[in-house]
Chains A and B, each alone.
Chain A
């Protein structure tokens, strides 16, 4: 019988066992982020954004301050700068509904045949996992007058405005 190379084989087996054990322990203890997990988080995030806008739109005006139409009616038609929002009522309502989130709000509307989009709340630049929600409101002369806004609408004119909310977390 050949007695050479005996030790190397045993060492090799021992090493293989050690490596295998390490791999097993690491994969068992680490939480694996599967695509399903991420999908649920995205759904949750987008749902929160849509809920916030829906709630503001259907809410009676005394429940959480002014509702979405009243907030947009009160707009002074100016664009926002960083942390200097031009829709303070909406900013206040959203900060209560979405604590711990950052958000931007854009409004889009058509005037004299051209589409105008302006930023009205600017809190920064969204990260890549941000969610977007949209809601359309209809303004009339009377809603604007009641909210003391700067929209110039004739008494029989309807103005559709799309409110786009971008929400993210840091």
Chain B
């Protein structure tokens, strides 16, 4: 047997160790610096873009003959989904970014449920990998005081929930959400119910489609025990929580719940939210608000809710999560 040309075992071992070490280093070192961020910048762009379009754009629809920003009335021809309120449907942009329309929000929710593929395409929540569409995971929610907003029969949360350990990018926007109608009265000019200076009288024309919300600012306080006692409709006393809710705001706080007969200051605002089912027939309703130590001016004609009615907006958070 020829002993020449045979490789030494030690040499072979040494060379393979070095090769393994080099292979490991090449594999491992670049991975240290990009760990966890592969494609994350793309997620960031998707989350940012989605949050911007939803809050700052009124959306767009068009067919062969017509177009406009009122896509909520033409959900089958929607081109772009945006939620901002728009006064002029042909303007292509809105003057009130961050103010979201209730009607658009409901259509947004319906669209996400009826055809999710279309919804994802319209919002651009996908990436193309070698020609095939890869959908991002997403969750879009609207929160008021940390709780998901409930609008009619819908909870305003869209998308799936995040799996643990997944990379996720989150964008939060502060928005105003239209939640119904409101009528704001100055307490110093609200008309008195005939015969009692402590009772305010407001007439409401039915039927109504939204809850009746009455906000009273500034009270003409006449004593030390100023308070709101109760409300009555066409003579019968209403029941708090089942018929209506009351909230109070003092100059230094936001609206919080108000217990009947608790103290009221001159600069406070009171918000009374009456259930719309109370005003179902085509008739005029007389609402009487009974106060203690609060005086309303003389007047034979009662203040009118419908003359004063405006859209009601509340501050909320829009949270877009993409993964």
Chain A residues within 8 Å of B, Cβ to Cβ = 13, 20, 24, 27-28, 31-32, 34, 36-37, 39-40, 43-44, 47-48, 51-52, 54-55, 58-60, 62-65, 92, 96-97
Of B96, B174, B215, B311, the residue contacting A52 (CB under 8 A) is B174
Q: Do A62 and B184 touch (CB < 8 A)?
A: yes
10 pairs of A and B residues whose beta carbons are closest in the complex = A51-B174, A34-B37, A63-B313, A58-B96, A36-B41, A40-B44, A62-B184, A54-B98, A27-B32, A55-B98
Of B44, B184, B252, B311, the residue contacting A39 (CB under 8 A) is B44
Q: How many residues of B contact A (CB 8 A)?
A: 43
Q: Which of B61-69, B165-173, B191-199, B230-238 contacts A (4 or more CB under 8 A)?
A: B165-173
**A55 touching B35 in the complex, CB below 8 Å, given contacts A24-B28, A96-B254:** no
Of A13, A32, A40, A43, the residue contacting B35 (CB under 8 A) is A32
Q: Do A63 and B315 touch (CB < 8 A)?
A: yes
In the assembly, what is the distance between CA of A34 and CA of B39, in Å?
Answer: 12
Name the residue on B nearest A89 (C-beta): B251
In the assembly, what is the distance between CA of A1 and CA of B136, in Å?
Answer: 64
In the assembly, what is the distance between CA of A63 and CA of B315, in Å?
Answer: 8
The verdict on B40 contacting chain A, using a C-beta distance below 8 Å, is yes
The verdict on B258 contacting chain A, using a C-beta distance below 8 Å, is no
**A47 touching B97 in the complex, CB below 8 Å, given contacts A32-B33, A64-B315:** no
- Please name 17 further chain A to chain B contacts, defined as beta carbons within 8 Å, in addition to the given A34-B40, A58-B95, sorted by A numbering: A32-B36, A36-B41, A37-B37, A37-B40, A39-B41, A40-B169, A48-B172, A48-B173, A51-B175, A55-B176, A58-B96, A58-B99, A59-B176, A60-B313, A63-B176, A63-B314, A92-B251
**A54 touching B97 in the complex, CB below 8 Å, given contacts A24-B28, A27-B35, A39-B44:** yes
Residue numbers in B under 8 Å from A62 (CB-CB):
182, 184, 215, 217, 310
The interface residues of chain A, by DSSP majority, are classed as helix
Residue numbers in B under 8 Å from A59 (CB-CB):
99, 176, 313
**Whole-angstrom distance from the CB of B64 to the nearest CB of chain A?**
34
Q: Do A34 and B172 touch (CB < 8 A)?
A: no
**Whole-angstrom distance from the CB of A165 to the nearest CB of chain B?**
13
Interface of chain B residues 151 through 188 with chain A (CB within 8 A): 169-176, 182, 184
**Whole-angstrom distance from the CB of B143 to the nearest CB of chain A?**
13
Q: List 10 A-B contacts (CB under 8 A).
A: A34-B34, A36-B37, A36-B44, A40-B44, A40-B169, A47-B51, A51-B174, A55-B176, A63-B313, A96-B254
The verdict on B285 contacting chain A, using a C-beta distance below 8 Å, is no
**Whole-angstrom distance from the CB of A4 to the nearest CB of chain B?**
13
In the assembly, what is the distance between CA of A80 and CA of B296, in Å?
Answer: 39
The verdict on B48 contacting chain A, using a C-beta distance below 8 Å, is yes
In the assembly, what is the distance between CA of A115 and CA of B242, in Å?
Answer: 57
Q: Do B174 and A97 touch (CB < 8 A)?
A: yes
Q: Do B32 and A32 touch (CB < 8 A)?
A: yes
**Whole-angstrom distance from the CB of A42 to the nearest CB of chain B?**
11
Residue numbers in A under 8 Å from B173 (CB-CB):
47-48, 51
In the assembly, what is the distance between CA of A52 and CA of B249, in Å?
Answer: 20
Q: Do B48 and A43 touch (CB < 8 A)?
A: yes
In the assembly, what is the distance between CA of A52 and CA of B251, in Å?
Answer: 19
In the assembly, what is the distance between CA of A60 and CA of B178, in Å?
Answer: 11
**Whole-angstrom distance from the CB of A38 to the nearest CB of chain B?**
11
Residue numbers in A under 8 Å from B28 (CB-CB):
24
**Whole-angstrom distance from the CB of B58 to the nearest CB of chain A?**
13
Contact code string B234-264 (vs A, CB < 8 Å = 1, else 0): 0000000000000001011010000000000
Residue numbers in B under 8 Å from A60 (CB-CB):
310-311, 313
Contact code string B50-76 (vs A, CB < 8 Å = 1, else 0): 010001000000000000000000000
In the assembly, what is the distance between CA of A36 and CA of B188, in Å?
Answer: 55
Name the residue on B nearest A43 (C-beta): B48
In the assembly, what is the distance between CA of A59 and CA of B33, in Å?
Answer: 45
In the assembly, what is the distance between CA of A6 and CA of B184, in Å?
Answer: 92
In the assembly, what is the distance between CA of A34 and CA of B40, in Å?
Answer: 10
Residue numbers in A under 8 Å from B97 (CB-CB):
54, 58
**A34 touching B98 in the complex, CB below 8 Å, given contacts A55-B174, A63-B313:** no
Of A24, A28, A31, A55, the residue contacting B315 (CB under 8 A) is A55
In the assembly, what is the distance between CA of A74 and CA of B274, in Å?
Answer: 34
**Whole-angstrom distance from the CB of B308 to the nearest CB of chain A?**
11
Residue numbers in A under 8 Å from B95 (CB-CB):
58
In the assembly, what is the distance between CA of A74 and CA of B98, in Å?
Answer: 24
In the assembly, what is the distance between CA of A148 and CA of B76, in Å?
Answer: 51
In the assembly, what is the distance between CA of A54 and CA of B56, in Å?
Answer: 11
In the assembly, what is the distance between CA of A56 and CA of B171, in Å?
Answer: 20
